[in-house]
Structure 1
Amino acid sequence: MSISKKYNYPPKLSILRFFVDAEGVRRNPIPYHEKYFERFGDSFSIRIGKSRHIILSRDNDIAQYILQKNQRNYYKSKFQSVYLSKYLGKGLLTVDGEFWLKQRRLIQPAFHKQKMNQLVDNMKLTIVSELKEIVTDKKVNLFPMMSEVAFNVVAKSLFQFSIEEEKLNRIKYIIEAVQNFLIKEIRLPHKAWWFSISGQVKKHLQLAEENDEIIRSIIEERVVSRNKVNDLLNMLLETRYEDTGEGMSVEQLIDEIKILFIAGHETTANALTFTLQLLGSHLDVQQKVFEEILKVESESEDVVERLQKMTYINAVLNESMRLYPPAWITDRQNVEDDVLGKFTIKKDTLIGVSFYELHRNPKYWDNPDQFNPDRFLGEQKKQSMQYFYPFGAGPRMCIGAGFAIYEMCLAICHIIKKYKVVSVQNTVNFNPLITLKPVGVEVVFYERS
């Protein structure tokens, strides 16, 4: 049986069209994806060479199948397991198989709800401290502010308040520099030779090594001090593997901390920026958020209790992440041949799922481009959650989802209670990098009387 008869792929985008559009796709793939989905339906494919295929989908059944129902047959692509691990090491985000499962089981208890509740007070203190000098009555570029807040919340949840400002600033600089270069490597593969001979690869690998040494020094200081501090580092130091009863090696702990910094920092900063921009463009929704804050605060003094009662604010965050999912795309490759809905695919097919497009697919959402937090309230919520992937799905769903929601709720509450936020522009610009990064989002903060 020939390859073409044995396998059945989604409608194919011609390789000619792929190359014609390549430069535009490199700059911003989303408008091109929209055009292709409009033409081909919820999935399309590109044939590479004689028998290799890439599939991109916005189909919920395909997303559920590869991420949850048959996830054992699907592993992360080389982009995640090779490119990312070169700079970030072998942590939860970049590994697969038995080693991933072993690490997930080890680290998961540190992110259980009870443990997260213990970190809330420190989160709140950091947010209040970072946002105490907001500039009012003039345009402010929102993302740098939210990035600073999110980075410091992660840093001080990991290391509480024991880390020097100089080390923190250096970690932040290195993470941003390495991420920016990584995007170049991925989007400009034809320049790999130049990045290598010009010394750029070497430079960024050295930066990654410097980052490792900074984190190593923090870990060693903690171990020597024997201080029992209520932070994530202490929780991770105390975890033990089920089979050996031993803790993580220092090298593995460094890799996991790097992943927590990156996964817990930029995605949260993105989501906060998009959410505040939407609230600044929908003042009626912002007023409801303000009223819920006052109501909940009058009913309880316990921070965790308050967070659990903020149903409308949670709905606003969910709707913001539906429209602008920080982790906007994911990919998998299949270990064995498989039947994917009505398609039969060869092993090692690369399958991308665009959460950005799935979250706006009119098959699943009424008025999909409209900002409507009511989708995530009452009876509508159950329906909406079936097609909603703010933190992925299945066993590899983001381990820090609860942490991120707590942090975002606390930040939104602190800001909206003190300030009325008005967006300068109603349109939202973004750059789809590893995450969906907001660009040029400006707002004005007006102090509430």
Structure 2
Amino acid sequence: MTPKEFFLVGRENGLCVRLDISPSDDLRDLKHDLATLFSISNANSISLHSSHGNLDTVDHVLECSSKVGIKVDGSSIRSPFCPKELPLFGNHFEIYPDHMGNHDRLFARYGSVIKTVNMGTTIYLTDDPRVSEVVLSESEFFTKTTSDPSHPLYYMRDSTALFLCDTSSPAFHVAHRFIPPSMSPKAVRRYTKNMQQAIEESFGVFDELDKRGLAFHVYQYMFKLAGQIIYRLVLGLDLGHFKTVDTPPHEIIHKLGEYMLLMKKTSLSPKWFKYLPFGDHRRLAEVKRHTWALVDEAIDKAEVGGNGEDLPIREAALQSTCIADYLKRAVDDDGKKLPKEYRLTNVVVLIAAGFVTSSSLLSWMVYSLTHYPGNQERLLRELVDFGATPSKAWTYDEITSMPFLDSFVKETHRMHNPSFQTARNTKKDVIVPGGWQIPAGSIVIPTFPSIHKNKDHWENPERFDPDRWAATDNKRHRMAFTPFAAGPRGCVGYNVAQLEAKLALANLVYRYEFVDASKAPMEYDPEFLVIRPLNCYARACRRTAWPRKTEKEG
């Protein structure tokens, strides 16, 4: 055995580790040992170096007469760079009001992991899918801790709700046992009819707008449509959002939207604002109390299926009238139900997360229809080829089998993904791909809008191109496209959101031609929980003619 000393290149004055090496040792095992000792997230990214060059074998390591240097992905180990800070404001003016564009600019300038300081809050961000893969894993290095004051969901944290609790919270494991089965592909299949009906209820309003020759504010109407759909799925109740052209959003939907807005605003404000006896923090608490009470009342009103008998989780997911009914009656293998105090908070989160993200996605789909020529016509032709008629009620299998519809939804997600708030906490100092060293106790956000347009992983990333999804030879990283995050804390509503988007698009595009009616270039809201368009307007023109069904060759 020969003792050899190892150090991190770029951190020559830091930790130095002595290991006993034998000619029979495997280089891969040596790298894994070094990854453990130096908190390197990916052992395969390690390369070994001397002052004379690379050390590619154990024999080369043994022959080295000096300390052995460690690089990650061929890079020296260094801390992420940070734009110049201003007193109190930090990097605020380097980021806002256009955080998407400014983050891209900062990634181009400083590298794939950057450090930002905004009003005293330090956040690390990445546009590298390899780093995102590490960050989103529940591992020795990363976890989700919303109770950390720096976490962007801190002000809406809840130790009893699946999405809002720490991974270490007892509620996470209990809720994770009950919530996902209600949104499995088999369970979601049952929601198709309810979704279809909720979408059809909007037709009268869009018809009336067309008769009057009026454009509509896309986000406002998609906000009502998404709310109508998700409320019916979760609570089995009709909100009546489309009784008239001017029907306002239901109180619960309106309050949840306000709650989301206030949460984002308070997360951006200085920490000492929460001690003020007035302002957004106080309003946030008031809105939460009122909204939770309204949802609790709605849960009690939700229709109960069958004879109201309790059922095992898997059976309950397939036989309940809605998700609230499921959560009332589902029992696990030990005969236990989801505790009532968990039920309320999880229903609130399912409604809020469901309609807020979907309203933005539906808005971006309308935007994409009106701003990327040719795609609306291709969608319409595919719908006709798959049997669309004015009275067509789509089945789950039909709506999920249309290739261009699927590609269009994916490309809209890639170019205009609503989600931005996915964040994880470092448990200890860690070196991530690219050689970036992030200290313990840090918040790291995989920046999905930037990851989805990373030129190292996407060809012509700024081009809206649904056909890219039909390619079979792409070699992009598996985490280069993660609209619903990934890992154990990824979005459990993925199947619901996909079905909702496809059903809405299929029904609306077949009935209407969408035409851009915006008066100014599109702006998005930088202070909302998700990325939503602020000034997008469109006309929904009732179709009077459709293309003929494509005749099959042969």
TM-score, normalised to structure 2, is 0.73
1:208 and 2:299 aligned: no
Letter in structure 1 aligned against 2:541 = Y
Partners of 2:348 and 2:462 in 1: how far apart?
35
1:429 and 2:429 aligned: no
Letter in structure 1 aligned against 2:329 = E
5 Å-filtered alignment, 1:58-97, equals 58-68=127-137, 70=139, 73-77=142-146, 78=148, 79-80=151-152, 82-85=154-157, 90-97=160-167
* Residue segments in structure 2 that go unaligned for 5+ positions in a row: 1-6, 16-76, 242-246, 309-319, 545-554
CA contact (8 A) 1:75 1:335 kept: no
Q: Deviations over 1:71-99 (max 9, x none)?
A: 773223433563112xx663111112243
Matched length: 443
1:178 and 2:259 aligned: yes
CA contact (8 A) 2:400 2:406 kept: no
Provide the secondary structure at the position in 2 that maps to 1:263. helix
Comparing 244-253 and 140-149, the one that deviates more: 244-253
1:158 and 2:230 aligned: no
Change (3 A) 1:18 1:364: farther
Partners of 1:120 and 1:385 in 2: how far apart?
29
5 Å-filtered alignment, 1:39-438, equals 39-46=109-116, 54-68=123-137, 70=139, 73-77=142-146, 78=148, 79-80=151-152, 82-85=154-157, 90-98=160-168, 99=170, 100-134=172-206, 135-136=209-210, 137-161=213-237, 169-189=250-270, 192=273, 196-198=276-278, 200-222=280-302, 228=308, 230-242=321-333, 244-297=334-387, 303-341=395-433, 342-379=435-472, 383=476, 386-425=479-518, 427-432=521-526, 433-438=528-533
Partners of 1:168 and 1:47 in 2: how far apart?
37
Change (3 A) 1:180 1:423: same
CA contact (8 A) 1:216 1:250 kept: no
Provide the secondary structure at the position in 2 that maps to 1:365. coil
Q: Deviations over 1:404-435 (max 9, x none)?
A: 11111111111110111122359542123211
Equivalence for 1:29: 99
Comparing 63-72 and 261-270, the one that deviates more: 63-72
Provide the secondary structure at the position in 1 that maps to 2:335. coil
Compute the RMSD of aligned alpha carbons: 3.2
Partners of 1:232 and 1:117 in 2: how far apart?
13
Letter in structure 2 aligned against 1:446 = C
Q: Deviations over 1:3-31 (max 9, x none)?
A: 98458312333334994752463433223
TM-fit CA distance, 1:436 = 0.6
Letter in structure 2 aligned against 1:444 = R
Partners of 2:81 and 2:504 in 1: how far apart?
44
Comparing 409-418 and 298-307, the one that deviates more: 298-307
Letter in structure 1 aligned against 2:537 = E
Q: Deviations over 1:215-249 (max 9, x none)?
A: 2223334589986551111112222344x421122
Letter in structure 2 aligned against 1:173 = H
Q: Deviations over 1:264-310 (max 9, x none)?
A: 00111111111111111223111110011111126997511211211
Change (3 A) 1:202 1:101: same
CA contact (8 A) 1:119 1:230 kept: no
Letter in structure 2 aligned against 1:350 = I
CA contact (8 A) 2:407 2:469 kept: yes
Provide the secondary structure at the position in 1 that maps to 2:201. helix
Of all paired residues, the percent bearing the same amino acid is 17
CA contact (8 A) 2:228 2:238 kept: no
Provide the secondary structure at the position in 2 that maps to 1:68. coil
Partners of 2:354 and 2:13 in 1: how far apart?
43
TM-fit CA distance, 1:200 = 4.9
CA contact (8 A) 2:143 2:425 kept: yes
Structure whose residues are more often helix by fraction = 1
Change (3 A) 1:65 1:95: same
Partners of 2:145 and 2:473 in 1: how far apart?
33
Equivalence for 1:10: 80
TM-fit CA distance, 1:158 = 1.3
Comparing 394-403 and 417-426, the one that deviates more: 417-426
Q: Deviations over 1:305-330 (max 9, x none)?
A: 21121111111111011011111242
Give the counterpart of 2:536 among 422, 425, 441. 441
Comparing 245-254 and 156-165, the one that deviates more: 156-165
* Residue segments in structure 1 that go unaligned for 5+ positions in a row: none
CA contact (8 A) 2:236 2:303 kept: no
Letter in structure 2 aligned against 1:184 = K
CA contact (8 A) 1:57 1:351 kept: yes
**Largest Rg, 1 or 2:** 2
CA contact (8 A) 2:130 2:477 kept: no
Change (3 A) 1:319 1:3: same
Partners of 1:193 and 1:406 in 2: how far apart?
39
TM-fit CA distance, 1:340 = 1.2
Change (3 A) 1:119 1:224: closer
Partners of 1:168 and 1:227 in 2: how far apart?
33
Partners of 1:167 and 1:29 in 2: how far apart?
31
Comparing 98-107 and 370-379, the one that deviates more: 98-107
TM-fit CA distance, 1:211 = 1.8
Provide the secondary structure at the position in 2 that maps to 1:430. coil
Provide the secondary structure at the position in 1 that maps to 2:179. helix
Partners of 1:387 and 1:42 in 2: how far apart?
13
Partners of 1:310 and 1:326 in 2: how far apart?
23
Partners of 1:447 and 1:225 in 2: how far apart?
38
TM-fit CA distance, 1:138 = 3.4
TM-fit CA distance, 1:162 = 6.8
Partners of 1:380 and 1:18 in 2: how far apart?
49
Change (3 A) 1:387 1:200: closer
TM-fit CA distance, 1:357 = 0.8
CA contact (8 A) 1:155 1:168 kept: no
CA contact (8 A) 1:329 1:355 kept: no
Provide the secondary structure at the position in 2 that maps to 1:12. coil
Partners of 1:222 and 1:269 in 2: how far apart?
23
CA contact (8 A) 2:261 2:529 kept: no
Partners of 2:134 and 2:477 in 1: how far apart?
18
